[in-house]
Amino acid sequence: MGLITRFGSFREPEQQVLFLVVACMAIRIGVNAVMTVLYGTHDEVFAPVADIFADALKSGLAQRSVSEELLSTSRVREWPLIFQGYLFDNSYLRPGWSHQWSTPLGTLQLMAVAKIVVWSSPWGALAVLFGVYVLLLFALACLIANITGRTRSACFWSVLLLGLSFPALFMFNRANYHSGYASIAVVTYLLTAFTGKCRWIGIIALTYAINVRPNVALITIVEFVLADGFWAAIKWQFRTAALSAAVAGISLVAAHAVDPTYTISAFLKAYGVYKHAYIFQDWGLGWNASLYGGMRSIWSLFGSMPSYNEAAAMAVTVFGTFLGFGYLWGALTRRLESAEAVFLAVAFCILFTPVLGQYHVLMLAGPVLVVCEAIRKKGIQVELTSIILAFVALLLLSLLVWLMPGPVTGILAVAGTALVFMALWRGARRMAGFSPTENLIMGISVLAISPLGGGLSNGIGVSTLLALASVAVIATSWGRRRTPWPAASSA
């Protein structure tokens, strides 16, 4: 502890965190390269190259109402073979499958991707999507500067976390810009709610995120801690719900106008196909950061088919209910602190969405930036040594899972992750001048947005750490005195 507490010119906490995240990425890729040389195979950091950029191009080109004219265009023969496959042999269009599981707004985005491909090329569509992402990061940096009073150049370090961390690079690899844009929107909402400034910008951003990823609506539970009173919290939640419903309705009408086959019944049917494949079968196993996904990964090490298990689903439900009541009790009795509420809301969204790709974990940049703001106000340094040691330990566990898969390895992976968490929690409670839970939130969030392992081990590590941290934060809040609600405002 304390061996690496400051890095010369890295004075801002965001700079230190970014250094750590990039260092972890470099270590992970280096280890991956060495193991590939030694064993002739590798535990892939990202999804297979054979499916690269699929979440934008493959899903977009499946929108035949827009992309059909490309089937008779000779210029598509100049595309890379993988992109030609997305057009001519798209698995989403095969019998028994469906491409219409995306929300109305998400479907409109995919239609826009297809239209850009028609106008230009797949590379042109990817360039536009990336350019929009960069512009959104710039806008977020300007917003952070406005609500914190810091210079715009200093705030660029904050948004780089959303561009260089493992979930962000994974998102670029898959071209899942639905997820990337939604994560930026969620971080925007959390920062505006935390500071109490530019609230409507945050609400509009979250409205977009909900219409792309409906599960993030759960994050509005932060209002019970961050809003100026109980009824103010209800008002902000109602405004978000009403605006989200309006956008969903308008998007449905627009999507149906472009593709008359896209209806509510078609969406529900497609979602049923998705649910059967990704939840009841094993399609959603790799890089799944949810608690249920982590449990399925452990089962696979025991040699059993990682299919749906009623007992496990019930266990996750009971655990989630327990944490949910614990959160509400801590929030309504004013025992939860702001940073804790932000972390728990994002952690719940990750843990209790049955299928949640690793790129969605980018939302944890929100709690990281919130804690960085607290660190800056207190004038202390980020404690990096314990996080680096924890990362190395988790990386070794992931290598164990890779090299010697089996029941014993699965048990060791969970037990080892729990021991790493205990060491982090013990160190957090000893650190002077810093809230133990804030230190823990920083450590767990940074680890979760770092490449802890491959397709299976990464999900085990992330879900275990987030679950244990959520229990620790809620249990700590229960030991505090109840504080009164703030006076009602005109919010």
Query: Considering the domain boundaries, does residue 227 fall inside one?
Result: yes
Amino acid 3: pLDDT: 39
Amino acid 5: pLDDT: 43
Find the distance separating the first CA and the last CA of the chain, reported in whole Å.
44
Quote the tokens at residue 127.
């360039």
Query: Considering the domain boundaries, does residue 255 fall inside one?
Result: yes
Question: Nearest-CA neighbor of 18 among 213, 156, 221?
Answer: 156
Query: Considering the domain boundaries, does residue 2 fall inside one?
Result: no
Helix/strand/coil for 254: helix
Q: Residue 154: how many CB atoms within 10 A of its CB? A: 17
CA 186 to CA 172: how far, in whole Å?
18
**73: exposed, middle or buried (C-beta count within 10 Å: 0-12, 13-18, 19+)?**
exposed
Number of domains the chain contains: 1
Quote the tokens at residue 114.
């297809």
Is residue 247 within 8 Å of residue 255, measured between CB atoms?
no
Parent domain of 329: 13-478
DSSP letters for 148-174: H---HHHHHHHHHHHHHSHHHHHHHHH
Mean pLDDT per 10-residue interval, the chain, length 491 residues: 45 82 82 73 68 93 94 91 93 85 95 96 96 97 91 86 92 94 97 94 97 96 92 95 97 96 92 84 78 82 68 89 94 91 96 91 94 79 76 81 76 86 82 77 90 72 92 90 63 49
Lookup result for tokens 């450590």: 443
Lookup result for tokens 């149906």: 256
Q: What is the DSSP letter of 10?
A: B
Is residue 345 within 8 Å of residue 321, measured between CB atoms?
no
Q: What is the DSSP letter of 278?
A: I
Question: Nearest-CA neighbor of 247 among 272, 197, 210?
Answer: 210
Query: Considering the domain boundaries, does residue 488 fall inside one?
Result: no
CA 441 to CA 336: how far, in whole Å?
13
Is residue 119 within 8 Å of residue 75, measured between CB atoms?
no
Amino acid 222: pLDDT: 96
Q: Report the alpha-carbon angle 185-14-126, nearest 5.
A: 45
Query: Considering the domain boundaries, does residue 489 fall inside one?
Result: no
Amino acid 455: pLDDT: 64
Query: Considering the domain boundaries, does residue 391 fall inside one?
Result: yes
Alpha helices (H) in 1-121, listed in sequence order: 13-39, 57-61, 64-67, 81-88, 104-119
Tell me, rounded to whole angstroms, the distance of Cα 97 from its chain centroid. 26
Helix/strand/coil for 54: coil
CA 126 to CA 141: how far, in whole Å?
23
Amino acid 2: pLDDT: 41
Q: Report the alpha-carbon angle 174-176-178, nearest 5.
A: 180
Question: Nearest-CA neighbor of 46 among 290, 359, 279, 364?
Answer: 359
**489: exposed, middle or buried (C-beta count within 10 Å: 0-12, 13-18, 19+)?**
exposed
Number of H helices, E strands in the chain: 21, 0
Query: Considering the domain boundaries, does residue 6 fall inside one?
Result: no
pTM for the whole structure: 0.92
Query: Considering the domain boundaries, does residue 1 fall inside one?
Result: no
Lookup result for tokens 């930036």: 369
Cα dist. 120→66, 68, 115, 127, 242 in Å?
A: 13, 15, 9, 11, 37
Which phi and psi angles does 10 have, rounded to 5°?
-80, 80
Tell me, rounded to whole angstroms, the distance of Cα 336 from its chain centroid. 23
Question: Nearest-CA neighbor of 460 among 452, 472, 471?
Answer: 452
Q: Residue 322: how many CB atoms within 10 A of its CB? A: 12
Q: Which residues pair with 408 in a beta bridge?
A: none
Measured in residues, the chain has a length of: 491
CA 441 to CA 359: how far, in whole Å?
19
**16: exposed, middle or buried (C-beta count within 10 Å: 0-12, 13-18, 19+)?**
buried
